[in-house]
Structure 1
């Protein structure tokens, strides 16, 4: 279900407060802000703070400070994911009712051992676009009675999407509208490349995949502008949107700002951190120059 033609565009910048913003974040934030202004649209800020162990009020305050320094203005109130766990739980429950998710009990060590055993025998094991091995099928094949017993015993688990079942239910190819290249085009989605993705963990009520599609729908986001590192994840997001009957935004995946080593910037690298650059007397005009805007 694509965005309604003629609808006022809505953009968002959605950082996690688990570290300080850097030049890469500046590119994404400024692009979203400028594209919203140029189209007569709205610019929203969302704080993705589901990971309570790593996200802190100190880093959240730093986000507001850095963005204000860049001259960006956003609508209030800011949506904070930690205040909306019920929204993600409701979406997960819908998928449970559709028999599209299952409890996954294997630890990372157990998965690693299974993958290593296959490799030792010269057998191929599929990996997702981020390089992580697909989750084994043992938990997916458990009987309902066995699942109930493990859950009743309090065995720690995550909830994973049964990718094959989900794709069968959708029953058609998925795609998305991409404007990040030289020309707008239709990209073919390939959710199967990710295997049975995690939708919820015992230590986190929602995964990035699930929370981002729920948030974008509830906030009426029409244009998702984000880095190329999330390009392939869009396949999973399109599948979840289709399953949950959520609107389909237009996507724009922009280039990444790379470090001198050619790698994606890290929040731990002070030399590219916005706070450090501001303290060093770098102007916002210089920041725009450095990020190519």
Structure 2
């Protein structure tokens, strides 16, 4: 049987302008699709409504087209699909795999500090499970009172529901074992963010038929959690390719928060598209 065509995607968050690190990731995914006669999708991950801006979304499309990248089909904009993500959360809730967490970040920090040697995961100290242990009547009373809460995944319950070890296929490394428990009871939704990155990205990869996820090595650890969500929801598991991050002359990764030079700034300075694309490919 012939192998299915490759479907890759580039999924930036419009919280700033694209820099070379973004273009590097997009170019790798685009080439993987085009060389295999497959599909390259563009998705805008704008679930953080406080930081995302329409002008950044418009700039992303313009900058990608300027360096010569095209994409297949319409651009999926995540903020237009919150009801779909809500349906996933509702399904997990009905299975008893989510619980409301009323703790503020400050309260969690104080409790973690009181524990002392609190266990750590990829994202820092693990949530100590305070609200998971709330008596049912107290939980119901706080919900009835309209107290603000986040929805957390009951990690122990989720692992029990899956019932078997999980693995993912990493291009160049083979089959790697997952460790979702290292994330603890991760947040899947907040009041200000109706669904988390982890939930939305796995939902959309499944919905869009993505077969190869190309992204930076800083997200490799998160693949364990994504595989757990895929297993819980019976979504297909794509292959993964986590690439090294582009770094500046000082050795630090290119990042918006560190003032990485935007592609459109390079264009304004007179660099042509070929030069920027070469730099994005790792050519300097």
Compute the TM-score of the two structures, normalised by the length of structure 2: 0.95
Partner of residue 150, structure 2:
158
Partner of residue 43, structure 2:
46
* 2:84 maps to 1:83: no
| Aligned mates of 1:274, 1:157 — CA distance in 2 | 39
- Provide the aligned length of Structure 1 versus Structure 2: 282
CA positional deviation for 1:77: 1.4
Secondary structure of 1:276's aligned partner = helix
CA deviation profile, 1:219-261 (whole Å, cap 9, x unmatched) = 1111100000000000000000000010100101011011233
Partner of residue 263, structure 1:
252
| Aligned mates of 1:208, 1:67 — CA distance in 2 | 22
- 1:177–1:250 Cα contact (<8 Å) kept: yes
User: Out of 193, 211, 228, which is 1:204 matched to?
Assistant: 193
| Aligned mates of 2:61, 2:16 — CA distance in 1 | 13
Partner of residue 234, structure 1:
223
| Aligned mates of 2:64, 2:138 — CA distance in 1 | 50
CA deviation profile, 1:52-102 (whole Å, cap 9, x unmatched) = 111111111110111011101112311000110011001111111111110
* 2:182 maps to 1:193: yes
More deviation, 226-235/273-282: 273-282
CA deviation profile, 1:9-43 (whole Å, cap 9, x unmatched) = 11110001110111110001111111100011001
CA positional deviation for 1:5: 6.9
| Aligned mates of 2:250, 2:140 — CA distance in 1 | 49
| Aligned mates of 2:279, 2:119 — CA distance in 1 | 38
Question: Structure 1: any 5+ residue segments left out of the alignment?
Answer: none
CA positional deviation for 1:270: 5.0
- 1:270–1:276 Cα contact (<8 Å) kept: no
Partner of residue 207, structure 2:
218
- 1:11–1:42 Cα contact (<8 Å) kept: yes
List 4+ stretches of structure 1 deviating above 4 A.
Answer: 268-271
| Aligned mates of 1:284, 1:194 — CA distance in 2 | 41
CA positional deviation for 1:271: 5.3
More deviation, 242-251/263-272: 263-272
CA positional deviation for 1:269: 5.0
Secondary structure of 1:44's aligned partner = strand
User: Out of 7, 10, 24, which is 1:10 matched to?
Assistant: 7
Question: Structure 2: any 5+ residue segments left out of the alignment?
Answer: none
Compute the TM-score of the two structures, normalised by the length of structure 1: 0.92
* 2:124 maps to 1:127: no
CA root-mean-square deviation: 1.5
User: Out of 54, 57, 62, which is 1:60 matched to?
Assistant: 57
